Amino acid sequence: MVDHKPLFKAPYDIKDVSALFAIVAFILIITAIVGNSLFGLFQENVNFG
């Protein structure tokens, strides 16, 4: 009998995807915290009228 390939075979490993997602999420969180702090300093130092 012919060995059939699965119709929807994932071309990636779920561990790799999880690790990549965790790295990207961590970078986005750090960027958001730093950006928020810098924007707070910007608001304090610039007079908007």
**Which uninterrupted H or E stretch holds 28?**
helix 14-45
Q: Say yes or no to pLDDT of 6 above 60.
A: yes
What is residue 2's predicted lDDT score, i.e. its pLDDT?
64
- pLDDT 10s digits, 12-35: 778 888 999 999 999 999 999 999
What contacts 24+ positions apart, CB below 8 Å, involve 28-34?
A: none
pTM for the model: 0.61
Tell me the CA distances in angstroms from 13 to 17, 31, 48, one per residue in order.
Answer: 7, 27, 51
